[in-house]
Each structure stands twice: as C-alpha cells, then as structure tokens.
Amino acid sequence: MDVSAYLEAVYGNLHRRDPAETEFHQAAHEVLQAIGPVLQAHPEYLHARIVERLCEPERQLMFRVPWVDDQGTVQVNRGFRVEFNSALGPYKGGLRFHPSVNLGIVKFLGFEQIFKNALTGMAIGGGKGGSDFDPKGRSDGEVMRFCQAFMTELYRHLGEHTDVPAGDIGVGGREIGYLFGQYKRITNRHESGVLTGKPVGWGGSHARTEATGYGAVFFAQEMLATRGQDFDGRRAVVSGSGNVAIYAIEKVHALGGRVVACSDSSGYLVDEDGIDLELLKEIKEVRRERISAYAEVKTTARFSARGSVFDVPCEVALPCATQNELHQQDATALTKNGVLAVAEGANMPCTPEAVEIFRGARILFGPGKAANAGGVATSALEMQQNASRESWSFERTEDQLATIMRQVHAQCRATAETYGGDADDYVLGANAAGFLRVAEAMTAQGVV
C-alpha cells in the first residue's frame, strides 16, 4: 500500500465528513504528516485501520445548558464532551469555558490529548470538553449555577474509571469545586478521582496549578541541554498571562532566566528588569484586570496594544496563550532576533507555517503535545493520590513532574532518531511516539 496516498485519503475523508472543523483538521494533518515512517515499519496498523479509528472519536456529546443569571433571566449555552480514545485508560482532558468553544475546537483539543497523554507514560486516554459560556464578568453565583447545570447533564458520562475531566481556559479551582459539588450531590458519592485540578484541601495535588507552565520550562531546559545550554542568563518571552504563563515565568526565573515580556488579549507588556511576578499575579489573579494595569503601577515597564509579544528580542519563546497565536511573521521575527528554542505551553499555539520556519532554521521546537504534557501528567498523579487516599508534598510532586518531562523529552528524541534520523525533530518524535503507544494498545484490544 502507498502510505502517502493512504494518509492523503484519510485526511481528505476528514474534510468531507467534518468540513467546518478547521482546528481539528490542522491537528490531524500534523499527526498524519508525521507518522508515515511508522506505518511503513508497521503495516499491521494499516490493515487494522488504526489511523481511521484514531481520527474518529469513540463518543461525541453535545447538549444544552440552561441556567438563570442574577437578574432572573434564563440563559442557554451549549456544552460539549468528546471522549476520543480510551485504549490507554479513562478519557482524560480538560473542560474549557470560553465563547470561542465549538465542536471543532473540542475535537482538536481531544485529538491532541490522545498523543499528549500517551507520551506521559500514564494510564490515561484522551478526551476534552467545555462550553461557549464565558465566566468573565459573571458573579460567583452565576458561575455556580452554570456549573451545576452543566454537570447535571455531563455527570452520567463521567467516572474515575470512565472519564476524568480537569480544568482548562476559564475553568479553575472555583469552577472545579462547583462541578464536583454537583457531581457529588447527584451521585451520592465522594468520588475524588472523577475530577482533577481540585484545591489541595479536599483531594487536589500540590504543584497541579504550576504543572503546565513548569513542565513547558522543564522541556525547554532539556532541549537547550542538548546543545550545551541552559536558562541561566537567557532572555525569554512568554505569551499570555494566565495560569500557564504565570508559572512558566516563575520557573524560568527560578532557573536563572529573565522573562522580559508577556501578554493578554489586549496587548503585550515589556519589562526589561524582568516581569515582576507578584505584581502580575496581583493584577491577573486577584484584581482580574488587563495587563496594561502593570505598566500603570511599574512605570519602567511599557504596554503596547499593537504588534506582537514575539516582536520582543529573546533567546527562548514560550507561547502559552491559545491556539494559532504565533504566526509566520512572528516566527520570522523570532528567528531574525536569534531565538534558540521555542516550547509550546499552550495547545497548538504555532501555525503550521510558523512551525516550518522554526524547523527549517534548526531552532529547537517543542510541540505542545510534548512540551505542555506536564499539566495532564500531574493530573494523573492527582488521580493516583486520590486512589490511594494520599497527599504528596509539593517537592515530591514537582520531582515526579520533572522526571516525567525528562522522559517525554528523551522519548521524543529517541523516536525521531529511529524513524527520521534527526533527534532534534521533536514534531516527528512526539507524534510518532504517542501514536505507537496508542496503536499498540488498540491492536491488542481488537476492533472496538
């Protein structure tokens, strides 16, 4: 069988069946482009139609979420959960509450989650969910009522051995608490392992809040080490200023680097002294204000509503905001300014054109399914603690996270070298390694 023609046919069929799901098409195309050498070496996966089965979710849920706002007005949102693949374990992936959420975005995130979860080496499958509800500007009471309505429909599909959601954009400790409370109320079970991202006081894991940002920096550190370099004295920029970005900044500073710029949807901030993390946390996590408020407090910093945070010269770039935020022109600017490494803290933040520029320029590039796997890895550690009724220290959990990220990095390099000959090709390595682990399990379990 001509593997290239076969993969083109699979991709064409995805377009035909789901014509409007552009983000899902993009995620699938990256994987299909990468796994050709694996299929050449393992024709049994072709005969078992593993690729087609991987690209089709095991279950797609879409439901209405009616709730009442503080004015007594009934609001109606749309809820989603895509349970993509359970070959390695229960579906695992976050819930995103944001106006941009639609089925195509949830499918792209769930598809990425399959390979990301496989790379961690943990016993977790891939899934994702969310709603077009926007928690910004809503009162605690409104968020609670929405979460209760959302869980009233979703609960019947969840379970610690079935599907274990976590947080994502718009879903933090507050939302997880409301969701868990409603699940417990409906099921009459304190099933701690059914949701991760819980506060530490009632079943959460130390270092879970920090895990995605820390993990991306650990991965970048491993990439730099392959060239005899590290973060010490390096300039870095981080896009975003939410949970992932804040803790990526924290870990870069801890490793001796200096993050000089970050951003939000209103623009970007430059502070040549290095981002003042406590001030940033105060503005974004406590006051919930725009990042421009930072420059109002610290007059040595400057805020720009135009251009891109990636215009700021740096040696390490960590895109940690959202999908497709780093474009071709941004990659070109970073390359001209001498960037050494780019690690995706968000899910698919670099466009395909940007990725090709990095790969062509031999810049170290860590794709999200590898570089930001620390979040879901620590969620799996939370599940492990829940199952044994244990609570680990922050230090123990962070050590486990660092070990997992080193293993993910080593696995990507070894697989890339096996199937492409270039250990620096992390795109090939991450996709091929994740695919191999899932394909092996799917083959062993038969046609299901």
- Those residues whose C-beta lies under 8 Å from the C-beta of residue 249, and which sit 6 or more positions away, are 213, 238, 259, 262, 275, 277, 280
Q: How far is CA 187 from CA 175, 180, 203, 231, 399, in A?
A: 18, 10, 18, 48, 35
Angle among Cα 346, 347, 350 to the nearest 5 degrees reads: 85
Question: Given 92, 107, 116, 128, which residue is catalytic?
Answer: 128
Residues 416 and 428 sit within 8 Å (Cβ to Cβ): yes
DSSP 3-state of 167 = strand
Locate 263 and state its tokens. 């951003």
Strands 258-264 and 235-239: parallel
- In degrees and rounded to multiples of 5, residue 183 shows phi and psi of -60, -45
CB atoms < 10 A from the CB of 425, how many? 21
Residues 189 and 387 sit within 8 Å (Cβ to Cβ): no
DSSP 3-state of 18 = coil
CA dihedral (111, 113, 118, 123) positive or negative? negative
Task: Verify whether residue 251 is a known catalytic residue.
Answer: no
d(CA 52, CA 32): 11
Strand boundaries in 334-448, DSSP class E = 341-343, 364-366
Secondary element (H or E) of residue 352: helix 352-360
Partners of 121 in the β-ladder: none
- In degrees and rounded to multiples of 5, residue 35 shows phi and psi of -90, 5
- b/e per residue 347-357 (b: at least 16 CB within 10 A): bbbbbeebbeb
CB atoms < 10 A from the CB of 71, how many? 7
Amino acid (one-letter) located at 260: V
Strands laid side by side in the 74-85 sheet? 59-68, 74-85, 125-131, 91-97, 163-167
Secondary element (H or E) of residue 75: strand 74-85
Residues 287 and 272 sit within 8 Å (Cβ to Cβ): no
Catalytically active residues are 128
